[in-house]
Amino acid sequence: MKFEAIPRETVLLDPGNDMAPKNIPNEIRKDPLTGKTARICHFRELKWKKPDLDKLVAGTESWCPFCPDKVLKVTPCFPGDILPEGRMTLANKVLFPNIAPYDRLSAVATLGNRHYIPLTDIEPRRIADGFRLALKYFRHLDEIKHPESVYHLISWNYMPASGSSIIHPHLQVFATSFAPNMLREKLQAAKIYMAENKTNYWDDLVTAEIKNRDRFLGKIGRTTWLSVFAPVGSVGDVIATADSVQSTLELTDEDLFDLATGMTKLMAAYDRMGIYNFNMSFFAGSQKDDHARFHLIFSPRIYFNPSIGTPDVASLGRLFGESVCMGFPEEINKVLKTEF
């Protein structure tokens, strides 16, 4: 496994020091699987000031379609050939079709009755039950042999900087025969990796990172938690793999609870940095893909300039697909590791 980092340095004349030369380091890193590059640069202290979140969310429950007084009235239902009962429920959590679908089977699952839950109040049980509800839906689609029951994906956009338009915690749940770009690229690369090495890429990654130590966070049951070498996110990404699991359908209730538990550890650590937004997505193969290994990516989100709402993705990320991380993943790992 090759972790390739290309060190760079910029020399400029510093206006804060009588235009004396100043050397600023940065690094270009290549993802060991896809070769996609990430820039480690724009270093700053990994500490942000949280706004008054109670003020931010105040009043949003009055129009929230996911609150308990509205969710069963204003959300759509599945047609009878997909789900005769219309919606699925589990422990106050409700799953229904996405009213703005991006594929034939895109659904949304609420994470219970509570409208706003601060990051550190979100319990593993709540997340695990949301995952269980999504799995119930996926297993049903598989039983009815729906042609889109190939890749079973769950995403979570928490709070506005993540792209979420609704405060009420909810999961994006979709089954599709068209893997989204990043998943498709990873699976294609992992297939080539397996043909060349006769091993599964993510199994080799876990072995290498446990040996390296500086990006390893910990193990919870069958799940292994690692800082990503070449992250997409501006404050680093974390990957959690599940041993021996290829597709989402193979995850057990115990795995789901372990994944949820690890996520709450990350939330606690990022909360201490003042971060209150994140994205999370499942990356899973189909049931036939022995080159796949189930993993999720947790990626915190920030505002580059909170006072004017500047997001953390600009043209470099958006149009060139190049990511910028404001700290070395190994340094961020030290902060996260205190929770594992």
Taking the least distance from each CB to Zn ion, the nearer of 5 and 90 is: 90
Q: Select the span of 58-66, 72-80, 141-149, 259-267 touching Zn ion (CB under 5 A).
A: 58-66
Which residue number, 67 or 226, has a Cβ lying nearer to Zn ion? 67
CB of 106 to Zn ion, least distance (A): 20
User: Where does this chain touch Zn ion (CB under 5 A) — which range of 25-33, 67-75, 144-152, 185-193?
Assistant: 67-75
Count of residues touching Zn ion (by CB under 5 A)? 5
* Nearest to Zn ion of 169, 317 (CB atom): 169
Cα 30 to Cα 212: distance, rounded to the nearest angstrom: 17
Nearer to Zn ion, 60 or 212 (CB): 60
Q: Kindly state the smallest distance separating residue 74's Cβ from Zn ion, in Å.
A: 11
Q: Which of residues 66 and 283 has its CB atom nearest to Zn ion in the complex? A: 66
> What is the spatial distance between Cα 157 and Cα 52, in angstroms, rounded to a whole number?
20
Which 151-170 positions form the footprint of Zn ion (CB under 5 A)? 168
Angle at 146 between CA 144 and CA 147, to 5 degrees: 150
- Name the minimum Å distance from CB 132 to Zn ion: 21
Calculate the CA 148 to chain-centre distance.
Answer: 22
Evaluated on CA atoms 177, 181, 185, 190, the torsion sign reads negative
Q: Which is nearer to Zn ion, 109 or 302 (CB)?
A: 109
Q: For residue 256, with 0-12 CB atoms within 10 Å meaning exposed, 13-18 middle and 19 or more buried, which class applies? A: buried
Binding track, positions 168-207, relative to Zn ion; x by CB under 5 A: x---------------------------------------
Q: How far is the CB of 89 from Zn ion (least distance, A)?
A: 16
Strands ordered across the beta sheet of 277-283: 88-90, 93-97, 106-110, 170-176, 151-158, 277-283, 295-301, 238-242, 223-227, 216-220
The radius of gyration computed from the CA coordinates of the chain, to the nearest angstrom, equals 21
CB of 64 to Zn ion, least distance (A): 3
CA distance 207 to 197: 14
Q: Is 66 in the site for Zn ion (CB under 5 A)?
A: yes
**Residue 67 interacting with Zn ion (CB under 5 A):** yes
Taking the complex as a whole, how short is the minimal distance between the CB of residue 242 and Zn ion, in angstroms?
31
The CA-to-CA distance between both ends of the chain, in Å, stands at 25
Segment lying near Zn ion (by CB under 5 A), choices 64-72, 74-82, 179-187, 293-301: 64-72
**Long-range own/partner contacts, residues 73-81 (CB < 8 A, 24 or more apart):** 75/99, 75/108
Binding residues (CB under 5 A) for Zn ion: these are 64, 66-67, 115, 168
